[in-house]
Structure formats: structure tokens, C-alpha cells
A and B are shown apart, each in its own frame.
Chain A
Amino acid sequence: MTCQDAQSTIMSYLAGEISEQQETALKSHITQCAACASELQRFRHVWNALDTWEDQVVPGNVQTRILTMAKEAAMATREQSQIGRWRELQTMMKPLAPVGLGLLAAMLSAGILSSKMNLSAVHPLSLTAVGALWTGIYTLIFYILFSGKTQKAGTWRAFAKASIIALGLFLGFTLISPVPDSVHFCRYYAITQPILERLSIGGSFFLFGALYALIPMGFAAYFSGSRSGNHPWIKGSLAGIMFVALMAPSIYLQCAPFALGVLLVWFGGALVGSILGGFAGYWFRYRFARS
């Protein structure tokens, strides 16, 4: 080991970072070199003198201040993570909301129908299938209703809203007087009898099916048609088709005691009435209530 090597090793020696091999070499060198031995001794003396500068304890008030800051930050983090978890749960549950509402709406609708007609005529399996189908359609409509915030999604939301309002009105009418009861009543009522006499039973169901769809759909499209504008036919048709889809299970259940032909003509009437109602609602809104 040269004197230069010894000098570069001295700091490692003092700091306790020296290898055994280097230490042996350094010790061997200083036994032969008085200058390096003296240098090492002086360095060691200074190094030891530095020990007099002892550690001081952090004052209690400073410790308290720092720990208080840290505690508040930890609490804020926990609160944020709880909010985050809640939001995560909300996001996770969001797709389930239309399903839940769909099921609830289907049960409510079936409840309204069962209060006015005897559903025991419907086979339990058919009833279950209709219930599931109705839940599915409602779910789809609610899904559209809660969908994104884009302009396009907003237009579809307006159709979904109109169709749900229309179905509410339709079920309200049904609660007052179901279509078969109305057909029956009008066929024998003095004023309406001459008109309905000219129609077959199928024609009567078509007419009533159309009226029971047109009136609610017209009102619903008018009152929810804030996005009405050009193309009321297209808009009316789309909203009307949604409404018919929502109404279909109800028509099926109400037609249970009748022949398949009645079901088909009623359904046809409902489709025509819905589209006409949708068109009329949007057109009137656009024409007379533009805002």
C-alpha cells in the first residue's frame, strides 16, 4: 500500500466501511510509514472529537405538531378511501338499478292488471314468462333512461321517458276500464252502438287498442318532448315502438280469455295508435309549444 492508497482508505477506516483485507494493509503500512501513522492518529482524534456534538431530542411541541398533521392527513385519507369505496359500490351497483326498477315496475304493472282481471286464466308458466319478459323490457327502457349524457343518449332518454309516461297513463286507463270492458260497454251503449255495429269484433279491438295507445302516447310525447323538432314521424315511431314493447305483455295478459286473432288485431291497433300518438305529440309540441 502506498501513502496515497493509505490516504484514500483512511476515511473508509474511520467510517467503519473498510474490508478486513484493506484494514490489514493499512495497519501494515502505518507500521512502516510514520507520516501516515501520524495522519491517521490526528484524523482519529478529530473524528472522536466530533462525538462531543451529541444528539439533541426533538422538543415535545414540535413532535406533537408533526404528529397532529400526520394524523389529520391519515384521517382524510381514510375518509377519502371510504368515499371512494362507496363510489365504487355505486358504480358497481349502477347497472343493477335498471334491473331492480324493471322488476319493481313489472310487478306493479301486473298488480294493476290483476286488480281488474282474473289472471288465473293464464297458465302459470306463461305468466312467469310474461313477467320475465316484462321485467326485461322495463329494464331495457330504464337502462336507456339512465344512460350516458351525450346528445344522442339524451334523445333516446327522451323516447324512453315518453314511453314510460305513456305506459303509466295506459295502465291508469286500464285501471278505470280495461279495453275488453270498454269494447263490451260501447258495443251495447246506445250512442256508440251504431258505430261499433259497423265494425267486427276484431275491428272494435283494433280501434280500442289504437285509442288506448294513441291518447297516452300523444300526451306523453307532448309533455316529454323537450327535444322535439324535425322528423316528428321518426321520433314518434321510435317512442311509439318503445311504448308498444312495454305495453305488449299487458295486451297479451288482457287477451288471455280471447282468441289469438283478437290479440293480433289489438296489438296491430296498439302499434298504429302508438306511432300516431307519438307523431302527434311531438308534432304538436314542436308546432305549438316550442320553447
Chain B
Amino acid sequence: MDNHNKSDEQLMLEYATGSFTAFEELFGRYNLRLYNLFLRSLNKTDLAQDLLQECFLRVIQARKRYQPKTDFSKWIFTIAMNLIRDKYREQSRRKMTSISDGEFLVNSEKQLHSEGPQKDLEKSQIKEAVLEAIETLPQEQREIIILSKYEGLSFAEIARILNTSPEAAKQKAYRGMQALKKKLAYLEKG
């Protein structure tokens, strides 16, 4: 059977027995999604690259322990989210001790609010505004919105990855969207 037609779980099992082409197919299916998940969650290219490498390294290292009954997508996204959360924790520790990081955040907030309504906002400017608005969201709301909007995961899938209920995930997404709505209200007028 062609690798394209195989399930993620089947490919992972084949990789565990030494098939590199099976890994290539899996990599092709997930690298872009994971890379952009890291980028959107951390908003730092070098960190996203490191975490992408770390995430696949964990998959490689765990290849022999992988159980086929485990949903591969859930498994790899759980690894990714754990990496992101570790990084958040690391960053929040650093923020407590570093003045420069704190300044960056305050400046971002100021910039967002001081911009106010603008006509003819370019796409890149909207993107910049969206990016900064998302960055100000509480961690869980941000994660859920990113996983739903960009990764196309259902709330049930997100709930499984983040160890919560689909309703709670939906509720947090709603609250996050409300916060974004307020922060990006000026875009509507533009």
C-alpha cells in the first residue's frame, strides 16, 4: 500500500520497525501544522524551530514504545502542547527576573492601545495587531483558539489534548474571542 493511503498509526508502527519513508510521510503531514502551532503559541521563530525539532526528536525516541491504539494526532499534539507549556513556564520565570522582557510586554500593550482606529490598515498591520492581541490572552484561551482556528481540531479533540471537557474548551475559546473582540474592536471601524 502507498504511504499516502496509510493511517498515521500504521506509519508510526512502520517507522518503529525501521522504515524511514514512513517517517517522511508523517513528517510531511505534521511538520507545517506543528511549526505554525509553535510559532503562533510562542511568536518566536528560533524557539518554534527548536521546539519542532524537539517534538520530532521525542517521537523518534519513543518510536518503540508507541502503542498503535494511541491516536497519533492526539499523541503528537500532546507532546507539542507540553513543550509549549514548558516554554511558557520557563518564560514566565524569566519574566519575573528580567526587566527587558517585562518592558517588551508593556510596550506591546501600549502600542496596541495607542494605535486606535486606523483607516486602510494593511494586511500585515492587521496580522501584527492580531498577533499581539492573541499574545495578551491567558495561556489556555490562546492555546484553544490556536488549536481550533489554525490546527482545525474539534473542541472534543482539543479537550482530549488539554485534559479538559469539550464544553470547558468551548467556553474558554468564547472568553478568549470576547477579549480579542475588545482588543481588535478598532479594526472593525477601520
User: Measuring CB to CB, which residues of chain A are less than 8 angstroms from any residue of chain B?
Assistant: 7-8, 10-12, 14-15, 17, 42-43, 45-47, 49-50, 52-59, 62-63, 65-67, 69-71, 73-75, 77-78, 81
A53 touching B174 by the CB < 8 A rule?
A: no
Q: Does B139 touch A at the CB level, under 8 Å? A: no
Assess A45 versus B187: contact at CB under 8 Å? Given A11-B170, A77-B16, A77-B18: yes
Residue in chain A with minimal CB distance to B123: A52
Closest chain-B Cβ to A9's Cβ sits at a distance in Å of 9
Interface residues in B6-54 by Cβ distance below 8 A to A read 15-20, 23-24, 27, 31-32, 35-36, 39-40, 49, 52-53
Which residues of A lie under 8 Å from residue B60 when comparing CB positions?
69-70, 73
B23 touching A70 by the CB < 8 A rule?
A: yes
Residue in chain A with minimal CB distance to B188: A45
B170 touching A53 by the CB < 8 A rule?
A: no
B63 touching A53 by the CB < 8 A rule?
A: no
Closest chain-A Cβ to B79's Cβ sits at a distance in Å of 14
Assess A56 versus B36: contact at CB under 8 Å? Given A50-B149, A66-B52: yes
A70 touching B20 by the CB < 8 A rule?
A: yes
Assess A66 versus B53: contact at CB under 8 Å? Given A12-B170, A42-B188: yes
A43 touching B181 by the CB < 8 A rule?
A: yes
Assess A17 versus B155: contact at CB under 8 Å? Given A70-B23, A77-B18: yes
Measured CA separation A66–B31 after assembly (Å): 10
Q: Which of B85-93, B107-115, B125-133 makes up part of the contact surface?
A: B125-133
Residue in chain B with minimal CB distance to A61: B49
From B32, B124, B171, B188, give the contact of A55 (CB < 8 A). B32
Which residues of B lie under 8 Å from residue A53 when comparing CB positions?
40, 127, 130-131, 134, 150
Residue in chain B with minimal CB distance to A57: B32
B16 touching A15 by the CB < 8 A rule?
A: no
Closest 6 CB pairs of A and B: A78-B18, A77-B18, A52-B127, A74-B20, A70-B23, A58-B35
From A11, A54, A62, give the contact of B53 (CB < 8 A). A62
Which residues of A lie under 8 Å from residue B15 when comparing CB positions?
70, 74
Q: Does B173 touch A at the CB level, under 8 Å? A: yes
Q: Does B154 touch A at the CB level, under 8 Å? A: yes
Q: Does B162 touch A at the CB level, under 8 Å? A: no
Give 14 A-B pairs besides A56-B36, A69-B53, A74-B19 with Cβ atoms closer than 8 angstroms: A11-B148, A15-B173, A17-B154, A46-B181, A49-B129, A53-B150, A57-B32, A58-B35, A63-B27, A66-B31, A66-B56, A70-B27, A71-B23, A74-B18
